[in-house]
Structure formats: C-alpha cells, structure tokens
Amino acid sequence: SVVEKNVISVIVYSVPILTIEGDGSLIQGMDRKITIHIVNNGLSNVKLASIEAGQPASAIINPPTYEYLGSINSDDSTTVEYTLRPTSTNSKSVILPLTIKYKDSNNKDFVKTVNVNLPVYTQQEAIQRGLIAKSNTSLYLLIVIFLIIIYVVYRIFRARRKKKKTI
C-alpha cells in the first residue's frame, strides 16, 4: 500500500503600515529635543529599518541625523530623538523631512518620506505655555543689591551716631 501525502501551503502577505509622528516643540534661539514616534500598525513585521532626517529650511539639526532602528514588530513602536534650533525669528513652525527605509518579512524594500510639522514659539510664548521656566535671576540680583544698600546705609548711620556720642 502506497501512502500519498500532499502538503499545501498558503502565504498570507500583508503590507507593513508605519505611522510616523513628531512630539515636541521648538523655542526660538534654543536647542530643543523632539521625539519621533514610529509605530508599526500593520499585520507584518518590519526589519532592517532606518530613519534619516533631512535638513529643515528654517532650523539647524544637530548630528546624528541617521539612525538604525532594526526590527519593528507588528503592533509595536520605537522612538528617535533629534535636537533642533530654529533659525528664523518669524517662523511659527518648522517642517522636518524624514525618510524611513525598511524591509517587510519577504525582503521587499520600502521607502517612506514624511514631513513632520513642529510648532515654534518665542521665549515669552514658551513661558506662558509652561514649556520653560521663567528666570528669576534678575529678582535675586535686585534683592542682593537692596540688602547691600541697606547694610551700607546702616553702617553709615551707626558711624555718625558714634561720632555724635564722642563729641
């Protein structure tokens, strides 16, 4: 008796779906870190992923601009941080161009380009929004100067009183 075995295989293919979003805000004249979130919303895993930030038109990006991410499993995420400084004093936002390259589980290459819009605030706006703390240095300096003046006036007054008593 001959036994015949047949094997049927089915390959289910799903295109990886990556979502890229920026988190953070920029302040004029200051270096600020922003976080880029890369989320794999698809059913298949992503491998050999890397991300590169292009040069924004109205900001300086500090190196490194390229980062290797590795694998991003389905329903998983990873983050990348970049440090930027706005160069334009009248721009209300900076557009950061990002290019992410990756392969799916079948080694098919993908390239995705995204522009992340980041808000830019003046230092006054940033203080109002609570992004940076207001500096109290000038207040402390005035208090110290005031105390020194009180001490000097007290010493002069005391010296005059001693002169009157000795005369």
Percent of the chain whose predicted confidence (pLDDT) is above 90: 61
Letter for the amino acid at 63? P
β-bridge mates for residue 51, sequence order: 67, 100
Q: Give the pLDDT score at 166.
A: 66
CA–CA dist 109, 17 (Å, integer): 13
Letter for the amino acid at 116? V
CA–CA dist 92, 122 (Å, integer): 9
Query: pLDDT of 7-63, one tens digit each?
Result: 888 777 788 899 999 999 999 989 999 999 999 998 889 999 999 999 998 899 998
pTM: 0.72
68/5: higher pLDDT: 68
Strands (E), 41-105: 46-53, 59-61, 66-72, 76-86, 93-103
Letter for the amino acid at 38? I
